[in-house]
């Protein structure tokens, strides 16, 4: 017969019982989670196998379609290249295009009421005018207004136009600066 003496304090006994319970819970959780982990592993293996099969079928499909796709891609690249060249040419044209609108608008705002234009023509940056002024003062005032605008330069009125005092048929030429022609209003 075996006699056991219980000399452990009560707190120590409680601690031993807790450790036994924890071990039992861990064993049960392990037995519960092990099949789940195995199932997840099997599913991942199946997924990997299906992925490999899908890739191989995609590659075989791509090999069959690659020739027609290459031809289509090449034709699209040619079309894009042509369009890009046209857009580039248009962009260059717009960058170098001279816009006369702002300079001409400034010019017509300067014309006094006593001046009438008969002919207005341009050649490159030069403007040629033929007109009629009621008097010499109006013509000189018009010339001074043009000289005060920074866009206009080399304003030329022949002295023969200033001989008459009234009803002056005149001709005039001047240049418009390139900078003023490139500015948009």
Q: Which residue has the tokens 């120590």?
A: 12
Per-residue pLDDT band at 185 (split at 50, 70, 90): very low
Asked whether 168 and 90 are in contact (CB, 8 A), the reply is no
- pLDDT tens, residue by residue, 123-178: 888 888 888 888 888 888 888 888 888 888 888 888 887 778 888 888 889 888 87
CATH class of the domain defined by 101-182? alpha beta
User: Residue 100 pLDDT > 80, yes or no?
Assistant: no
Taking each helix axis as running N to C, give the angle between helix 136-148 and helix 101-110, from 0 to 180 degrees, rounded to the nearest 10.
140
- pLDDT tens, residue by residue, 46-55: 999 999 988 8
Q: d(Cα 104, Cα 176) in Å, to the nearest integer?
A: 9
User: Residue 113 pLDDT > 60, yes or no?
Assistant: yes
Mean pLDDT of the chain: 85
- The more confidently predicted of residues 184 and 17 is 17
Q: d(Cα 106, Cα 72) in Å, to the nearest integer?
A: 54
- Across the range 1-29, mean pLDDT stands at 89
Per-residue pLDDT band at 183 (split at 50, 70, 90): low
> Which residue, among 138, 178, 142, 171, has the nearest Cα to 156 in the 3D structure?
171
Q: Which residue has the tokens 């000189």?
A: 140
pLDDT confidence of residue 160: 81
> Which residue, among 152, 157, 150, has the nearest Cα to 131 in the 3D structure?
157
In order, the DSSP letters of 105-132 are: HHHHHH--TTEEEEEEEEETTEEEEEEE
- Across the range 9-32, mean pLDDT stands at 93
The residues spanned by each domain of the chain are: 8-97, 101-182
């Amino acid at each position: 017969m075996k006699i056991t003496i219980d000399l452990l304090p009560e707190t120590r006994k409680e601690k031993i019982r807790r450790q036994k319970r924890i071990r039992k819970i861990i064993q049960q959780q392990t037995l519960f989670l092990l099949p789940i982990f195995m199932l997840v592993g099997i599913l991942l293996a199946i997924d990997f196998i299906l992925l490999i099969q899908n890739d191989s079928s995609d590659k075989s499909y791509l090999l069959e379609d690659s020739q027609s796709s290459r031809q289509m891609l090449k034709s699209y690249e040619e079309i894009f290249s042509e369009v890009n060249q046209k857009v580039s040419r248009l962009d260059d044209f717009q960058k170098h295009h001279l816009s006369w609108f702002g300079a001409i608008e400034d010019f017509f705002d300067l014309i006094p009421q006593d001046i009438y234009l008969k002919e207005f023509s341009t050649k490159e940056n030069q403007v040629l005018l033929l007109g009629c002024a009621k008097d010499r003062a109006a013509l000189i005032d018009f010339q001074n207004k043009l000289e005060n605008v920074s866009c206009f330069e080399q304003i030329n009125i022949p002295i023969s136009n200033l001989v008459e005092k009234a009803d002056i048929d005149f001709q005039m030429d001047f240049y418009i600066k390139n900078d003023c022609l490139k500015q948009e209003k």
